[in-house]
Amino acid sequence: MANTVLITGGAGFVGRHLARSLLEQGHRVRALDSLIEQVHPTGARPDELDPEVELVVGDIRDEDRVRAALQGVDKVVHLAAEVGVGQSMYAIDRYTSVNDYGTAVLFQQLIDQPVQRVVVASSMSIYGEGLYRTEDGDLRQEVVRGARNPDGSWDPTDDQGRALIPVPTPETKSPALKSVYAINKFVQERLTLTLTAQYGMESCALRLWNIYGPGQALSNPYTGVLAIFASRIANGQSPMVFEDGRQRRDFVHVSDVARAFLLALEKPDANGQVFNIGSGEDRTVEDVARLQAASMGRPDIEPLITNKARAGDIRHNIPDLTKAREELGYESRQDFAAGLEELAEWVARQEAQDRVDQARGELERRGLVA
Ligand code: UD1
């Protein structure tokens, strides 16, 4: 059945892809977006936002705009958020205001104009360190990342000083909130699940891993690492890699994420649930930097390993996707190498302003890179 879906933050990277998928399925889409300068430098409606999308320009904290945006809506996807883990550690008031107060304003309005279902973008950041095992095979749930090890390595260790080995993290792992961003995302998730149940709506939270793909804000120095690296490489600069570059992440293509949201909006059994969403393949940040330079025709550009850590970062986190597969029917489809090629082609058509040095300076001045 065709629905009217409101996507908060719908003019952003994920929102635009999701909007297109929803339109293809015959739904009507409205986007509420404040077009912040860090993501939308010109402040204009992005060309990549499908012309069929009705855009309401407004802040998620503005109750009048939110009320207007909710008129006649059947379902909501809540994406509006500040998204930089490093930046959240100093822009505390802004992050908490947009992410948590913004979600509160949305729900205040949803009490008067309820919808069938709300799907919120949560994050793998809420787990803190992922699940690990020791060399002997014992699982470790509550790993806390300390300072760098005396031998210069970065991996969390067991009590005998042996590196712990990351294993896929299931939704049952308890949260360990290590950054303002993680705290914000957990609050968003809990507000959504708690309030929808209270007010007769349905909901679902997707705990997303690292999203990449065409359309990610290239000139935003606090965007995802692949967009940052793309902008560096396009400008002939080395990608700057934190720590030793061996930290592991799961990079999931935005088209897979859009499909996960479609499933989360539709599947009856998804109500009240949280799901990990990733690609099912993990890799190190250094490997990704090399693969990306090669995919952009610059295999000569070597990553610069900084041996410094960014405040709030976790070491390793990779998803267990069993629940998403079995209960949501989610499978990742995008091949990573092909995804990088597609990203490289898109980047070649853009003008990427490299503002990474400036952003790093900001973090360093505040003692947030050490
Ligand atoms: C990202 C998202 C966050 C999302 C989370 C889910 C952004 C800005 N943040 O956070 O919204 O919830 O994924 O997984 O998209 N790194 C470098 N050099 C750089 C930048 C980053 O080495 O120039 C490293 C970081 O130290 C980290 C890794 O790359 O180890 C990933 O960083 P980043 O892309 O910022 O992702 P998350 O912090 O995981």
pTM: 0.95
pLDDT confidence of residue 27: 98
Rounded Cα gap, residues 5 and 23, in angstroms: 10
- 4-131+168-365 to CATH, choices 3.30.2130.10, 3.40.50.720, 3.30.70.2660, 3.10.620.30: 3.40.50.720
Average pLDDT, the chain: 94
Rounded Cα gap, residues 264 and 337, in angstroms: 27
- Confirm or reject: Cβ of 313 under 6 Å from ligand 1: yes
Start-to-end CA distance of the chain, whole Å, equals: 53
Residue pLDDT, tens place only, 328-346: 999 999 999 999 999 999 9
The answer to whether 311 touches 180, Cβ cutoff 8 Å, is no
Residue pLDDT, tens place only, 78-92: 999 999 998 999 999
Query: Domain map of the chain by residue range?
Result: 4-131+168-365, 132-167
Residue 294, classed as helix, strand or coil, is helix
pLDDT band (50, 70, 90) for residue 354: low
Over range 138-167, report the average pLDDT. Answer: 91
Over range 196-223, report the average pLDDT. Answer: 93
CA dihedral 218, 27, 190, 64 (to 10 degrees): 80
Q: Write the CA distances from 11 to 16, 47, 106, 215, integer angstroms.
A: 6, 10, 17, 11
The answer to whether 141 touches 131, Cβ cutoff 8 Å, is yes
Could you give the residue ranges of the DSSP H alpha helices within the chain?
Answer: 13-24, 63-70, 85-88, 92-96, 102-112, 180-198, 225-234, 254-266, 285-295, 322-323, 336-348, 356-365
Q: For residues 81-94, b (16+ Cβ closer than 10 Å) or e, as one string? A: bbbbbbbbbbbeee
- Confirm or reject: Cβ of 22 under 6 Å from ligand 1: no
Ligand 1 binding pocket mutation candidate from 210, 211, 291 (most atoms within 8 A of CB): 210
pLDDT confidence of residue 291: 97
pLDDT band (50, 70, 90) for residue 156: very high
pLDDT confidence of residue 311: 84
- Confirm or reject: Cβ of 209 under 6 Å from ligand 1: yes
Residue pLDDT, tens place only, 237-246: 999 999 999 9
Q: Write the CA distances from 305 to 132, 302, 316, 363, integer angstroms.
A: 24, 9, 17, 17
pLDDT at position 219 over 90? no
Q: For the chain, give the percent of residues with pLDDT over 90.
A: 85
pLDDT confidence of residue 352: 59
pLDDT confidence of residue 24: 98
Over range 247-252, report the average pLDDT. Answer: 97
Residue 172, classed as helix, strand or coil, is coil
Rounded Cα gap, residues 294 and 111, in angstroms: 51
Half-sphere exposure of 114 (CA within 13 A, CB side): 13
**Nearest CA residue ID for atom 1, ligand 1:** 210
Task: Pick the range with the lowest mean pLDDT from 131-145, 159-173, 214-228, 290-304.
Answer: 214-228
- Confirm or reject: Cβ of 311 under 6 Å from ligand 1: no
Rounded Cα gap, residues 176 and 143, in angstroms: 9
pLDDT at position 1 over 90? no
pLDDT confidence of residue 4: 98
Over range 98-103, report the average pLDDT. Answer: 98
pLDDT confidence of residue 295: 97
pLDDT at position 321 over 70? yes
Ligand 1 atom closest to residue 309's alpha carbon, by position in its atom list: 26
